[in-house]
Structures are given as structure tokens and as C-alpha cells.
Amino acid sequence: MEEKKVTWLELFYDLLFVAAVATATHVLLHVEQGYIHGEYLLKFVLIFIPIWWAWTGQTMFINRFGQDFLHQRIFMILQMLFVLIMISSLSVDFDQYYVSFLVGYIGLRALTSIQYLIVQKFEQSERKKVAVFLGTCFGIGIFISLLSLFFDSWVRYAVLYTGIAVDMILPILGHKRLAKLPTNTAHLLERFALLTLILFGESVVSILAVIQPQKGDWNTILFSIISFVLIIAMWWQYFENVEKKVNKSIQRAGQTIIYGHLLILMSLSMIAASIKLMFLHEVQYTFSLYFVFGSVLLYFMATTLVFHQYRFEEHRLKVYHLGLFLGILAVFFIINLFLVVPNTLIIGELAIFFIIYARFTTT
């Protein structure tokens, strides 16, 4: 498969979206009476999905049709303006900023759809068919979401996310058609890995900004060190797999990588938020256990799903590996549930889990 390099403009593009993700993650820090109420968990998901999908849409266009031409650069720069509008509209008080958020999101998606419809004029055979198919599918989803302007209260959100759901589901239904023009797997993995890397860095910075170890406060220093070890172990496991354990010559529609990374990126944000909240002791002990272990379980299952299909045959994990990892998490969770332990110890247990996970999946 032809080598496709990530451009500097793509990296700049990623930075803006990471800022949007950081804003979405901040929603998880709204704690009332020791809990993150279901309202905020739902808002986090509903804010996160449009951000991820807008980024993914442009990334997939570049993966199949991007040529770093001047007009494609202009399209990306215009998209950045809509990203800024969307970021400025992200808030737990969604109603107040709904119109500006919709303008940002629709602008992003419309520019991606237009690029497909433009490029199809210069393509032939399957490439032309795929460009028309994706441009049309996304146009349908955009139109449905745009209709939300004519409704109020919860109905507008139902219409908005119906459009987004259609936008996401139609490519899955057209899997066989897209498989005839497979993604550039190496470029796709690199794009998602770079976004994930920036999120790892953002997690470290945001955690340290809250923790801020003080001189002589050994509990804080220890919590900082163990949290850092946890994130490094996660980083090691993810990037060793991307670099050495996956077969980048596999040609598929890439949907496992695309949709699996929604869960990976969401769980990364959730883990970062849970570490902050555990340090600040703002959530009840039992809730913090369920939240942090649930976030880790989601991350583990998502990374396992994404990498399994693309691993070299000799590197694929066996069923007993899955049982081992789930068993370790279950033992730690049950012990902590019946014996109240310090939050530092809980973070240490998760660091041990990810060290073992990295050890078995990268050697």
C-alpha cells in the first residue's frame, strides 16, 4: 500500500480537537454529594461523540483521498474556525450555547461532506463510488441534525443525535462497499495514535496541575509518582502494540480502529478525571471504585478489540490471557470493595494491572 505521511497541518488540527476533548472531560468534574450524577455522565458522552466524529470524518477523508493540495489545506483551515466555534460553545449549560455549538458541528461535517463530493469528480471506478456514497451519507446525517433548529427542549437533542447516529451507522451498513476501497491502515493507526498520544500528555499535565506536590507532603508526592507510572504503563502498552505488534499491511474498511477508538479516547478522559477526583477526595469511596474500575475495564476491552484483529497471527492473545486480565481487575475490585483502602493504593493496583497488561501484550 502506498505510504501516506501525516502532515504538519493534521497535527495542528489535532491540537484544537484535544482542547475540545479537555473541555468535555471537565464535565466529569462536576460532583454533587459525592457523586457524578447521571446527568453529567450523559452530557459527557453527548459532548464527546460529536467532537470525535467531526475529527474522524476529516481524518478518514484524508486517509482515502487526501493529497495535501492547496484547496484541501484551505478546507482544513476553515474547519479549524468551526472547531473554535464549537469549543467556545461546550458547556454543561448546553441550551444556552446550542445554536453556536450546532453551527460549529454542522460547519465541520458539511465541509467534510463537500470535500467528498468535490473529489468524486476527479476519481473513477470504486474510488468515485465510495466518495459519492460517503458524501451523500454524511449529507443526510447533517440535514437531519440541522432540523433540530426547529425544535425546543429535549426534542432538539433527539433530532440532533438522530442525525449523528445516521451519520455514524450508514458507513457501517455500507461496509462491503467501503471494503472495496480499504483504508491506508498505517496512516489510520498513526493518526489515531497521535491523537491518543496528545491526550496522554494532556492527562499528565491536567493531573499534575491539580496535584501540585508540595514540599514535604509525601502522600501527595507518592500519589503523583504512582499516577505517572500508571499513565506510562498505559502509554507503553498502547504504543508498543501500534509500533511492533500490528500488521499495517492488512487492508480493511478500518471500522474497528475507528469506532474502537471512540471507547479508547472516552475511557482515557474518564481515567484522567477519576484520578483527579480521587486525589481531591471529592467523590464517595464506593462511587470512585465503580467509576475508576469501570473506566479501566472500558479502556482494556476497547484496546483489546482494536488491536486483536490487526495483530500478527503469532502475537494474538489467547482466551486465557483475557481471563487473566479480567481476573486481576476483579480481584482488586472485590478486595477494595470489602476493605476500604487509601486512594493511593487503588491507583497502585491499577498501575500493576497495566504493567502486567503491557508485559503480556508487548513481548
pLDDT along the chain (363 residues), means of 10: 75 86 85 86 91 92 86 90 88 82 93 93 89 94 94 90 94 90 90 88 72 66 87 91 85 89 94 88 89 95 89 81 92 94 93 92 78
Looking at residue 308, what is its pLDDT?
84
Looking at residue 161, what is its pLDDT?
94
Q: How far apart are the first and last CA of the chain?
A: 27
Q: What is the pTM of this model?
A: 0.91
Angle between helices 255-280 and 153-173 in degrees, nearest 10 = 140
Q: Which residues contact 318 (CB under 8 A, 6 or more apart)?
A: none
Q: Coil, helix or strand for 36?
A: coil
What is the number of residues in the chain? 363
Q: Which residues contact 88 (CB under 8 A, 6 or more apart)?
A: 97, 100, 104
Looking at residue 166, what is its pLDDT?
94
Looking at residue 212, what is its pLDDT?
62
Q: For the range 300-303, what are the long-range contacts, defined as Cβ-Cβ under 8 Å and sequence gap of 24 or more?
A: 300/325, 300/329, 300/357, 301/263, 302/260, 302/261, 302/263, 302/264, 302/267, 303/237, 303/238, 303/241, 303/260, 303/264
